[in-house]
Structure 1
Amino acid sequence: MRQLTFISPGNLEWREVPAPRLEADTDALVKPLVVARCDLDLYIAAGVVNYPGPFAFGHETIARVVEAGSRSGVSPGDVVVVPFQLSCGRCNACLRGWTNSCESYPFGAAYGLKPTSGTEFGGALSDLMRVPFADHMLVPLPAGVDPIAAASVSDNIADGWRAVGPQLEARPGASVLVVGGLAQSVGLYAAGAAVSLGAGRVLYLDDHPERRARAEAMGAQAEPLALAEGRQPEAQFEIVVEAAGDADALGFAMKSCAANGSLTSVSIHLGATTPVPLTRAYYKGLTFQTGRVQSRPTFPLALACMACGDFHPERVTHRVLPFAQAAEAMTDPGPKVVFTCNEIA
C-alpha cells in the first residue's frame, strides 16, 4: 500500500510499504477518508521541531472500517474517528481517563509520530491503518457531521476543547482569554469552543491577522497581541488559554488570569527552559495545566457539540486538498489543511 513518509524537513515522499493485517479479534482495519494536518506536523515538516525520519506521517483522521475482528465492536462500512494516541481502554491509566499514557504501549505511542515513542504504528496518510482495541478506540462519526469539518477532532480540536470545556462546566458563563500563536489551530478551536459553550467575554489575542479573522468568524472578539509594545493586561479572565509557545506570552497569560482562575498551556515550549512568573501565580492561587491532550475521553464531547450545530471548527480550515498533494502542502503556513481521499474529494 502507499504511505506518506517523512524523510527530513521539507522532504516527504510516498512509499510502498506492506499493508497491515488484523492481528487480534479486537482489531479493525480502516481506510482514512480525511486527514488533517496537526499543528505539530507543520513544525516537523518545516524543521522547527527536530524529529528524525523516516517515519509514517499523519495522525488526525476520519476513516471507514474495511475489515473488523469479531470483538472489534465495529463493522465494515462504519465511518469512525480514530484517536491519534493508541490506548487499550482496559489498563489502570485508561480507566482513569489517562489515555495519553496507556500502560499497554510505550509512552507517547501515536500514529504518525514514531519519534515520540520509538515505535512505528503507521500513519493516517496511507491506504490502510490497523486499529487495535477497536472496541475502545473507534468512535462513530455522528450523523450530519461533515468528515472534513471534524477531521482534526481526535487531536487539535480536542486539545482546544479540553482547555475550556471542563473549566466552563465548573464556571458557566466565565470570561475566556486565548493567547494565540504557535499552536495556531488549537488556540482557534479553544476560542470557538468557548463561544459555543456559552462563555461570557471571549477574547482572542494574536498578531497574525488571518487567525484573528478566523477567531472572529467563530464568534470571539479578536485583537493584536502586540507584546513587543509592552502590552499589559487590560482585564482579568477566569479562564486563560496559552497557545503561543512563547515565554513572554506565557507570562502575559499568567498576568491576565484572575484570582483563583485556570490557565492551560496547549503549546509546546521548545526551549530547554521557560521562565514562569510563579510568584504572581502563587498569590493569585492559579490552577496551571500543561501537557498533551487525553484524546479518547475528550473528543466525543467536541463531536457532540458539532452534531448539535453549536461548534464550527471548519471555520479554522483554510485549504482542502487531495491526498496526492499532501507532501507538497505540508509546510503551508496557514492554520489548518485537510486532505481528502477520492471517495469524498
Structure 2
Amino acid sequence: MRATVFHAPGDVRVENVPDPRIEQGTDAVVRVTHACVCGSDLWFYRGISRWEEGYRCGHEWMGIVEDVGSEVTSVKPGDRVLSPFAFSDGECEYCLKGLQTSCVHGGFWGGADSDGGQGEAVRAPLADGTLVKIPEVVADDEALLKSILPLTDVMGTGHHAAVAAGVRAGGTAAVVGDGAVGLCGVLSARRLGAERIIILGHREDRLEVARRFGATDVVTARDEAAVEEVLEMTGGGAEAVLECVGVKSSMDSAIGVARPGGTVGFVGVPQGSEELNLGRMFGSNIALRGGVAPVRAYIPELLDDVLAGTLDPSPVLDLTVDLDGVPEGYAAMDERRAIKAMVRVR
C-alpha cells in the first residue's frame, strides 16, 4: 500500500510500504478514507522535534473496517469507524478513568512502531477499546463525514482544554492560539455555555472562523500587550484560559491573562513552554490543568452533537488534498496558507 513517510525536516513522501495485516486477535485492519495533517505534525516537519527517517506519519483518521481479529466484537468488516489519535485497550485502570492516553497497553499512531493515518490502510491494535463505529445513517454524506473527522483529535483536544480550564455557563473564557485546536477551543467554550469568549490570535482568516464559532472578542496584540488588553477588557482577567499552542510565549500569555483563582487548561504540545511563571501562579492562586487529551473519552458525546446538527467543527478543514497531495498539505500549513489539511484518501 501507499503511505506517508518522514525522511527529513521539510521532506515527507508518499511511498510504498508493507500492507497491514492482522497480527493479534485484538487487531482490526481499516481502509482509510479520510485523514488530516495536524499542527503537531509540523514540529517534526520543521525539525523541532526529533524524528528519524522512515517514521510513518499521521494520527487523525477514519475509514472502513476490512478485517478483524478473532477477539474483536465491537466492529466488523464493512463498518465505518473513526479513531482517536491514540489507541487503548479500554480496560486498564486509566482507561476506566477516562484517561485513555495513559493506557498501559496503548500507544500513538505513526512514528517507528505503528501505522500512520496518512496512508491507505492501518492495522489498528486494541480495536475494541479504540475504534468508534459511525452510524450507518451517515453513509457517504461527505459534509457530515467532514464534520466528524475533527473528533479524531482537534475537536476533542479543544474540548479537553475547555473542560480542564473549567469553562462554565455564563462565564468568561480566553483562548490563546488561532490554530485548529484553538478554534475548536472557542467552539467548545461556546458549547459549554461561556458568555464571553476572547481569542488571542493574529490571522484575520482564522479569527473570522473564531467569530463564527462564538468568539465575542478578538485580541490581535502579542505577548505583554495582549495580556494588558485582556486584563483591561475583563477587569482582571479570564476565569478560564485555554492554552492551545505549546510555546513559551503562549503559555506566558495564558498565565498572564488568567484571573486570580482561575485555571489554565493547557493542551498545546510543549515546545519550550516548560518554564512556567510560578510566581504569578502562586501569587494569584492560578491552577494549571490539562495535558494530552484523552479524545476517546470525549468522542461519544461530541459525535452525538455532530449527528444532531448542533456541533460542526468542519470549517477548520480549509484545504483538501488527496494522498499524493499530503506533502503539499504539510507545506500549506507550515506556510500558514491553510489552517488544517484534510486528506481524502479514497
Q: TM-score range by the shorter chain?
A: 0.7 to 0.9
Could you say what secondary structure the match of 1:320 adopts? Answer: strand
Q: Which residue number in structure 2 is paired with residue 337 of structure 1?
A: 341
Contact 1:39 1:156 in 2 (8 A): no
Q: Which residue number in structure 2 is paired with residue 227 of structure 1?
A: 222
Q: Which runs of 5+ in 2 are unaligned?
A: none
Measure, in 2, the Cα distance between the counterparts of 1:24 and 1:228: 50
Q: Which residue number in structure 1 is paired with residue 19 of structure 2?
A: 19
Change (3 A) 1:104 1:215: same
Contact 1:35 1:152 in 2 (8 A): no
TM-score by length of 2: 0.88
Change (3 A) 1:246 1:45: closer
Measure, in 1, the Cα distance between the counterparts of 2:95 and 2:270: 26
Are 1:173 and 2:177 an aligned pair? no
Q: Which residue number in structure 2 is paired with residue 125 of structure 1?
A: 118
Contact 2:322 2:343 in 1 (8 A): yes
Cα deviation, 1:35-55, whole Å, max 9, x if unaligned, reads 011111133223343322221
Contact 2:164 2:289 in 1 (8 A): no
Measure, in 2, the Cα distance between the counterparts of 1:304 and 1:217: 21
Q: Provide the aligned C-alpha RMSD in A.
A: 2.1
Q: CA deviation at 1:222?
A: 4.4
Q: State how 1:4-15 maps to structure 2 within 5 Å.
A: 4-15=4-15
Q: Which residue number in structure 2 is paired with residue 242 of structure 1?
A: 243
Q: Which residue number in structure 2 is paired with residue 252 of structure 1?
A: 253
Judging by fraction of residues, say which structure has more helix: 2
Q: CA deviation at 1:280?
A: 2.4
Q: CA deviation at 1:189?
A: 0.5
Number of matched pairs? 330
Contact 2:63 2:82 in 1 (8 A): yes
Cα deviation, 1:190-248, whole Å, max 9, x if unaligned, reads 00121123211111110222211111121212423312573402222121111243434
Contact 2:59 2:109 in 1 (8 A): yes
Measure, in 2, the Cα distance between the counterparts of 1:179 and 1:95: 31
Query: Letter of the aligned partner of 1:188 in structure 2?
Result: L
Q: CA deviation at 1:274?
A: 4.2
Cα deviation, 1:62-85, whole Å, max 9, x if unaligned, reads 111111234312111111111221
Could you say what secondary structure the match of 1:56 adopts? Answer: coil
Measure, in 2, the Cα distance between the counterparts of 1:253 and 1:17: 42
Query: Letter of the aligned partner of 2:278 in structure 1?
Result: L
Q: CA deviation at 1:5?
A: 0.8
Q: State how 1:85-164 maps to structure 2 within 5 Å.
A: 85-105=86-106, 109-112=107-110, 114=111, 119-142=112-135, 143-144=137-138, 146-164=144-162
Are 1:195 and 2:199 an aligned pair? no
Could you say what secondary structure the match of 2:152 adopts? Answer: helix
Q: CA deviation at 1:167?
A: 5.2
Could you say what secondary structure the match of 1:6 adopts? Answer: strand
Query: Letter of the aligned partner of 1:312 in structure 2?
Result: D
Change (3 A) 1:45 1:224: same
Q: Which residue number in structure 1 is paired with residue 203 of structure 2?
A: 208
Query: Letter of the aligned partner of 1:62 in structure 2?
Result: M
Could you say what secondary structure the match of 1:148 adopts? Answer: helix
Measure, in 1, the Cα distance between the counterparts of 2:27 and 2:247: 41
Query: Letter of the aligned partner of 2:145 in structure 1?
Result: P
Measure, in 1, the Cα distance between the counterparts of 2:304 and 2:165: 17
Measure, in 1, the Cα distance between the counterparts of 2:171 and 2:223: 28
Measure, in 2, the Cα distance between the counterparts of 1:54 and 1:69: 27
Q: CA deviation at 1:137?
A: 0.9
Contact 1:217 1:315 in 2 (8 A): no
Cα deviation, 1:6-39, whole Å, max 9, x if unaligned, reads 1112212222222121123322110111001111
Q: Which residue number in structure 2 is paired with residue 324 of structure 1?
A: 324
TM-score by length of 1: 0.88
Change (3 A) 1:163 1:282: same
Measure, in 2, the Cα distance between the counterparts of 1:275 and 1:314: 34
Contact 2:165 2:263 in 1 (8 A): yes
Cα deviation, 1:243-302, whole Å, max 9, x if unaligned, reads 24343432232232223222112213322x644222222233222024211122123232
Change (3 A) 1:196 1:93: closer
Contact 2:163 2:265 in 1 (8 A): no
Query: Letter of the aligned partner of 1:251 in structure 2?
Result: D
Measure, in 1, the Cα distance between the counterparts of 2:76 and 2:23: 16
* Mean Cα deviation higher: 274-283 or 69-78: 274-283
Change (3 A) 1:228 1:285: closer
Q: Which residue number in structure 1 is paired with residue 37 of structure 2?
A: 37
Q: Which runs of 5+ in 1 are unaligned?
A: none
